[in-house]
Structure 1
Amino acid sequence: MSQTATPPSAPARILPTIVFSQFAGTSLWFAGNAVLPELQASLQLQEGALPLLTSAVQFGFILGTLCFAFFSLADRMSPRLLFLICALLGAIANALVLFSATSVGGVLLLRAVTGFLLAGIYPVGMKIAASWYSGRLGKAIGYLVGALVLGTAFPHLLRGLGTNLPWQTMLLAVSALAALGGVLMYLLVPDGPYHSKGTRFDMGNMLKVFREKEFRAAAFGYFGHMWELYTLWAFVPFILAYGLPQLSPDQLSIYSFSVIAAGAIGCIGGGYLSQRWGSSWVAFVQLLLSGVCCILSVWVLQEPALLLPFLLFWGIVVVGDSPQLSALTAKTAPPQLVGTALTVVTSIGFAITIGSIQVTGYLLTVIPPHLSFVLLAVGPLVGLLSLRPLLRKQKRQPAVTQTAA
């Protein structure tokens, strides 16, 4: 069977279910951020608690993705079953924070465990999409990453609206949502027709995927993109407070939500554009535009009238390339190791974000803020150079508009 189109028999419920389940599962990621003031009061934490909680999840996610990739779990068992197990266990770990709110170590451990289990949700969700959508993979993953973006921005919205819900209720609601997403994925999304089964455990699987030249091009494009993405997201509130000091805390949260959530437009819109231009070109153009934003930040961060529209545009293009880079990773990986490939690339990418965030945080202590973010342009530059082989291939074999349904 040709793998250039979605199977005619694919039920209409498949993509909406995957998207909702991905949003529900990844809402666990920033659940701790949404209740940070209450945790700070309970644990008597200082203002630096946010990086601490976020880093715990990030480190857990990195360890989880390395473990899942090492054992090739997403390729050796049903990915929807793996998604269900991780969603349920992640929901439990998140809810258990209620009983550890008097222990810093307990909360950090549970957040790290949640991050570990997210390794069976985010990249596995992309693996499930890849098993159903081949020709339209860029569009499908565009929706998936768009859901992740909205989940990332969601805590800022909760704070901005000044919700009066008890923090315990908010945590339990997020856990219930994640569990529901896992159940729906398992019940409504069977293994897709492009799901390769029976991969054997091989300690070299993680390295084997990098033998393919085109896969390396897609992977290093993704690595460059990740150098910029999470650092921008992490410092959006800081940038807004620096450039627009008159904002109230509620306004700052709403604006932060808007800038990060705008990325869903880039993800979904880029997915549709990939139908005509191909994933390589869409990723290249958005990487180029976000790199230009890094450079222009030196000037725009000192112009209050331009700052918000500039950040909204930057928010769109900084993540709009992510689905297409993931789609390229899936398409160029060995078919029997797609899950492993997506997982190990995601793991390395998130490890890179920690280095970028630390470097930027240090720069903010030694140089003016408006000069600190230009270094993020290194990431898009590396990504653009890495994507050249895929662009050349697409020029030699122009992509046919991928409109098959």
Structure 2
Amino acid sequence: MKPSSTTAGAQVAPARVLPVIVLSQFAGTSLWFAVNAVMPDLQRAWALDAAAVGWLTSAVQGGFIAGTLVFALLSVADRWPARYVFLACALLGALCNAWGAWGSDEFGALVMLRFLTGFFLAGIYPVGMKVAASWYPQGLGAALGWLVGALVLGTAAPHLLRALGTEWPWQAAMGAVSLLAVAGGAAMALLVPEGPHLPRASGLQWRALSSIWRDERVRASAFGYFGHMWELYTFWVLVPAIVATRLAGAGVSLASFGVIAIGMLGCVGGGWLARRAGSARVAAVQLAVSGACCLLAPMMLDAPAALFAVWLAVWGITVVGDSPQFSTLTAQNAPREGVGSVLTLVNCAGFAVSIGSIVAFSALAARFPLGAVLPWLAVGPALGLLMLRPLLSRG
């Protein structure tokens, strides 16, 4: 299907498009962290231990991996209008989330519903990036900087809620998140027209998916992203433990929110810099700085309070600031008719890497001091920089 009678190169995105995509992305991905925001209340209400909490958290990640694999193999985001895929998945994800709050009182059922919520998030997060790519072939790094920044705020929000000690019943809080996701899906479908810069695929895009290992440029950005994912989510999981070496009580939650939320500056600022320096250079610099922060951990954990705070802030900014630029590079170099499918499959593999890293480092952090564990996170950035070299040499 051809984009429009207007030439794609001449069609400019309406002013509302980017803000609506960003807000819809934030609203839809809020489903990801709904249980995290109410976890203490849920533990008390259902007498759950720490292992049960891990199951609920992992269920969403596992569902997302399964969903992205299915969506990529079926080329869902490329064969059907991406904004309607986003709407359908927002509605289904909101239903699973609300059902988990009111429709079940069994732990096993809640785990399955969280898995299904993660499955439908596969039609929200990468599909939102596909929608942005269809409108912003130029300046995509800046646009995705705002989108990933919205996800970062959603990740940080549960820590803020814990610090503020909200009095909402946990079911009401999850219900509010479901309503927010529905509103985001409706806004995407009603206010964002189909973008003119990516063609609609007529069939499965398995050849496009093979570009991840067949095309040097796509391979470089994809494997650079995998190195970044080795570090990112594990760092976010360990932030409370790092902060707890200096603070206690609500201060841990408030500081954890700050360390994670400040990553939005890296996403948005990196997008602005990418307009001038290019996405590959911006991603490489941020990946190198966050890797250096890993290596400095043994010294910084015992450093004066001001230096400790600066170290965590720099790490929080750069650990996620490269993410939108990796996605930009993948979208720019992937076959035009398969951009959505390639982005989805790269997300699938990246989150699989993150689960392996989280499991490994959580076990290590329980047995060894943080100063001995955190430097090994630098393995991911180092390998990511090595894989990114072809794009850097091309400028």
- Normalising to structure 1: TM-score of the pair? 0.93
Deviations 1:210-261 (A, max 9, x none): 31110000000000000000000011111111x21x422x111111100000
2:372 matched to which residue of 1?
371
Q: CA deviation at 1:199?
A: 3.2
Q: CA deviation at 1:366?
A: 3.1
1:284 matched to which residue of 2?
284
2:324 matched to which residue of 1?
323
Q: Distance in 1 between matches of 2:284 and 2:205?
A: 34
Partner of 1:82, secondary structure, is helix
Instruction: Tell me if structure 1 keeps the 8 A contact 2:286–2:322.
Output: yes
Q: CA deviation at 1:8?
A: 5.0
- RMSD over aligned CA atoms reads 1.5
Q: Distance in 2 between matches of 1:103 and 1:41?
A: 14
Instruction: Tell me if structure 1 keeps the 8 A contact 2:211–2:218.
Output: no
Q: CA deviation at 1:209?
A: 4.2
Q: CA deviation at 1:307?
A: 2.4
Q: Which amino acid aligns with 1:297?
A: A
State percent identity of aligned pairs. Answer: 55
CA gap 1:165/1:6 in 2 versus in 1, 3 angstroms = farther
Q: Distance in 1 between matches of 2:266 and 2:226?
A: 18
List alignment gaps of at least 5 residues for structure 1.
Answer: 395-405
Matched, 1:95 2:98: yes
Q: CA deviation at 1:50?
A: 3.1
Q: CA deviation at 1:101?
A: 5.1
Instruction: Tell me if structure 2 keeps the 8 A contact 1:209–1:337.
Output: no
Superposition map of 1:4-403 within 5 A: 7=10, 9-100=12-103, 102-201=105-204, 203=206, 205-241=208-244, 243-244=245-246, 246-248=247-249, 250-303=250-303, 305=305, 306-394=307-395
Partner of 2:312, secondary structure, is helix
Instruction: Tell me if structure 1 keeps the 8 A contact 2:212–2:222.
Output: no
Instruction: Count the aligned residue pairs.
Output: 388
Q: Distance in 1 between matches of 2:296 and 2:22?
A: 34
Q: Distance in 1 between matches of 2:139 and 2:96?
A: 35
List alignment gaps of at least 5 residues for structure 2.
Answer: none
Q: Distance in 2 between matches of 1:230 and 1:336?
A: 30
Q: Distance in 2 between matches of 1:387 and 1:201?
A: 28
Q: Distance in 2 between matches of 1:362 and 1:247?
A: 22
Instruction: Tell me if structure 2 keeps the 8 A contact 1:42–1:101.
Output: no
Deviations 1:113-153 (A, max 9, x none): 00000000000000000000011100000000000000110
Q: Which amino acid aligns with 2:59?
A: A
Q: Which amino acid aligns with 1:272?
A: W
Instruction: Tell me if structure 1 keeps the 8 A contact 2:133–2:140.
Output: yes
Q: CA deviation at 1:6?
A: 7.5
Instruction: Tell me if structure 2 keeps the 8 A contact 1:43–1:101.
Output: no
Q: CA deviation at 1:368?
A: 1.6
Q: Distance in 1 between matches of 2:32 and 2:65?
A: 13
Q: CA deviation at 1:377?
A: 0.2
Q: Which amino acid aligns with 1:315?
A: G
Q: CA deviation at 1:39?
A: 1.4
Q: CA deviation at 1:79?
A: 0.4
Instruction: Tell me if structure 1 keeps the 8 A contact 2:102–2:171.
Output: no
Q: Which amino acid aligns with 1:104?
A: F
Instruction: Tell me if structure 2 keeps the 8 A contact 1:39–1:101.
Output: no
Q: Distance in 1 between matches of 2:28 and 2:287?
A: 27
Q: CA deviation at 1:356?
A: 0.6
Instruction: Tell me if structure 1 keeps the 8 A contact 2:60–2:116.
Output: yes
CA gap 1:317/1:203 in 2 versus in 1, 3 angstroms = closer
- Normalising to structure 2: TM-score of the pair? 0.95
Q: Which amino acid aligns with 1:110?
A: L
